[in-house]
């Protein structure tokens, strides 16, 4: 479904209803990364900052959990869940409390206040790759100065997750995160690439080369496997950082994460079907 805005005289939310699949604790990896990477910006806000959980699904667990996790680093943060399906908004109302609200809406983010964070997890998988830049631009235009859009995909219980982080200037980084005990090799994360990248995991594309190098570094680090998957992951990422613009350090790597500058992985050429 196209994401172009409807006529200005209407107030129909922009976008399409998602499958709504959601599970408690599904987005914990993304939430913890956001708290670490964006917590200082939230605390510097002039007044209680606002975060948006866009497309939270059939149940409001992800919005509730986002509020809990962000309040550990910014006690006065507020979270608004935005959902295009009015029945999902109605179902979330019993969970409304101080700092947590729910509204009907879509990519237009129908709030009077610009948020410092928009999190859109598992929202764009049903769209075409060619639609992603327009959605990104629309969402970033709604951010407050210094705000971030975090958009990505994870599996049903949050063991594997990949997301892109954007600001008002566009995409900045790509983060890969996993429960390492379940990961046979780093390229296993390919199935959770966000829509902007998932069709680009083919020879000749940067993300394919990156995952191939990651697998090679993982294989080289195999002697560390008896010490645990975490030690092997850290060694593999350290080797990878010699060839790719890794933007974080061992503290995040030990969490089963690695973040890479977007330009190094950006798609080449026109979108693919």
What integer best gives the mean pLDDT of the chain? Answer: 93
pLDDT at site 5: 40
Q: What is the mean pLDDT of residues 227-255?
A: 97
Q: What is the mean pLDDT of residues 127-148?
A: 97
95 touches 122 (CB < 8 A): no
What confidence category does residue 6 fall into, taking pLDDT thresholds of 50, 70 and 90?
very low
Q: In order of start, what are the domains of the chain with their CATH numbers?
A: 28-179+245-264 (3.40.50.150)
pLDDT at site 134: 97
Bridge partners of residue 152, in order along the sequence: 121, 163
pLDDT at site 21: 76
Alpha helix ranges (H) inside the chain: 28-43, 61-71, 86-92, 132-141, 195-198, 206-220, 229-240, 250-253, 262-265
| Residue 98 tokens, joined | 């101080």
| Percent over 70 (pLDDT), the chain | 95
pLDDT at site 98: 97
What confidence category does residue 16 fall into, taking pLDDT thresholds of 50, 70 and 90?
confident
| Residue 209 tokens, joined | 């080369």
Question: In this predicted model, what pLDDT tens digit does every residue of 152-202 receive, in sequence order?
Answer: 999 999 999 999 999 999 999 999 999 999 999 999 999 999 999 999 999
Burial 124-150 (b: 16+ CB within 10 A, else e): beebebebbeebbebbbebbbeebbbb
Q: Regarding predicted confidence, which is higher, 59 or 5? A: 59
**Residues whose CB falls within 8 Å of the CB of residue 28, separated by 6 or more in sequence, listed in order:** 65, 69, 158
Determine whether 94 is exposed, middle or buried from the number of CB atoms within 10 Å of its CB (0-12, 13-18, 19+). Answer: exposed
Select from 109, 120, 106 the least CA-distant residue to 148: 120
What confidence category does residue 12 fall into, taking pLDDT thresholds of 50, 70 and 90?
confident
Render 193-235 in DSSP notation, one character per residue.
--HHHHTT-STTSHHHHHHHHHHHHHHHTGGGGGG-HHHHHHH
pLDDT at site 272: 64
Question: In this predicted model, what pLDDT tens digit does every residue of 150-160 receive, in sequence order?
Answer: 999 999 999 99
pLDDT at site 23: 83
- Cα–Cα distance, 24 to 143 (Å, whole number): 27
Quote the pTM value.
0.93
147 touches 167 (CB < 8 A): yes
Q: Regarding predicted confidence, which is higher, 75 or 272? A: 75
């Amino acid at each position: 479904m196209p994401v172009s805005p409807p006529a200005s005289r209407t107030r129909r939310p922009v976008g399409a209803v998602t499958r709504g699949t959601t599970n408690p604790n599904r987005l914990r990896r993304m939430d913890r990364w956001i708290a670490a990477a964006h917590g200082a910006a939230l605390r510097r806000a002039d007044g209680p900052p606002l975060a948006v959980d866009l497309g939270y699904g059939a149940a409001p667990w992800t919005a509730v959990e986002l509020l809990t996790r962000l309040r550990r680093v910014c006690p006065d943060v507020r979270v608004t869940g935005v959902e295009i399906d009015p029945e999902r908004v109605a179902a979330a109302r019993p969970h409304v409390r101080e700092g947590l609200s729910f509204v009907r809406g879509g990519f237009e983010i129908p709030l009077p206040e610009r948020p410092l964070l928009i999190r859109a997890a598992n929202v764009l998988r049903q769209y075409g790759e060619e639609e992603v830049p327009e959605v990104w631009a629309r969402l970033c235009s709604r951010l407050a100065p210094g705000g971030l859009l975090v958009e990505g995909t994870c599996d049903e219980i949050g063991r594997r997750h990949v997301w892109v982080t954007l600001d008002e200037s566009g995409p900045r980084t790509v983060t890969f995160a996993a429960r390492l005990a379940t990961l046979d090799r780093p390229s296993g994360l390919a199935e959770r690439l966000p829509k902007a990248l998932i069709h680009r995991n083919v020879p000749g594309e940067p993300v394919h080369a990156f995952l191939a190098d990651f697998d090679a570094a993982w294989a080289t680090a195999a002697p560390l496997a008896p010490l645990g998957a975490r030690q092997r992951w850290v060694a593999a990422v350290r080797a990878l950082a010699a060839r790719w613009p890794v933007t974080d350090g061992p503290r995040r790597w030990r969490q089963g994460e690695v973040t890479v500058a977007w330009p190094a992985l950006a798609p080449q050429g026109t979108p693919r079907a």
